[in-house]
Amino acid sequence: MALSPTPAQRRVVEAADAGTGRLRGTEAQLAGLVKRGLAFRHPRPPHDHFLTPAGHRIREAGGEPEIPVASAAASQDVSPAPAAREVFAARVGGEPSVAGAAGDARLREVRGAWQGLLELRRMTHSDGSTDRPCAWERAHLVRAAALALEAAGHRPAGPDGGDGNGADGGGYRVRATPQPEAVAVHEPDGAALRACAETLERAGWQVGEHTEPRSRARYLLASPRKV
């Protein structure tokens, strides 16, 4: 199924509340938006529907969805939208260089995704808080941590260990670990590594600095804060 909404669904998206993303429409329209990953049904009564980050992008830009960072799986109580393909991903470090991976346009896109994720936190936490990760982030640890770092302006490593723009030896790399609910963040520059730790802590992660036994390189171990 294509992500593009029908004209009627697009009108529902464009009429969403600017602050909360709350939607009003027929059951069929709202269900269709959920299937496309553009809306999610709140798990608590009165079970209103709200825009996902992809839906917010359509509303703000009036174009095709570009960054469905968190789909209807934003809450453990919300069923995922299997048909929704994801076309945006924060840089975890080490990816092949791609056009548009840097610059003002990319920065705006990443920051828009981060604001959308904060809105998902607010709507899916029972207390409405935005200071700790939500269920979607716990299910996508590497991507969630990478989004927090990239949105804060940290430099991801390029495929050669550099920054993706021809520089060598710098940039963060976020990787999965054998530990449940934990990611590792590598950054060869000590000051930059500490800055990454500060960013993740502000984003609601518990962070500790560790040393690799063999290489003696310092790295971060980060887990989503629960309270």
For 140-173, the DSSP string reads SHHHHHHHHHHHTTPPBP-TTSS-SSS--S--BE
CA angle 200, 38, 85 (to 5 degrees): 80
Span 141-145, average pLDDT: 94
| Integer Cα distance of 175 and 167 in angstroms | 21
Span 117-128, average pLDDT: 86
Closest by Cα among 80, 139, 144 to 117:
144
Specify which of 35-44, 90-99, 117-126, 160-169 reaches the highest per-range mean pLDDT: 117-126
Higher pLDDT, 211 or 119: 211
Measure the N-to-C terminal CA separation of the chain; round to a whole number of Å.
Answer: 38
Span 13-40, average pLDDT: 85
pLDDT at 81 over 60: no
Helices and strands counted in the chain (H then E): 7, 7
pLDDT at residue 47, rounded to an integer: 79
pLDDT interval class at 101 (50, 70, 90): low
Span 158-163, average pLDDT: 65
Q: How confident is the model over 168-197, as pLDDT tens digits?
A: 468 999 999 999 899 999 999 999 999 999
pLDDT interval class at 201 (50, 70, 90): very high
| Integer Cα distance of 68 and 24 in angstroms | 20
pLDDT interval class at 225 (50, 70, 90): very high
Q: How confident is the model over 31-68, as pLDDT tens digits?
A: 888 888 888 887 667 778 888 777 777 777 654 433 33
| Integer Cα distance of 153 and 206 in angstroms | 20
pLDDT interval class at 72 (50, 70, 90): very low
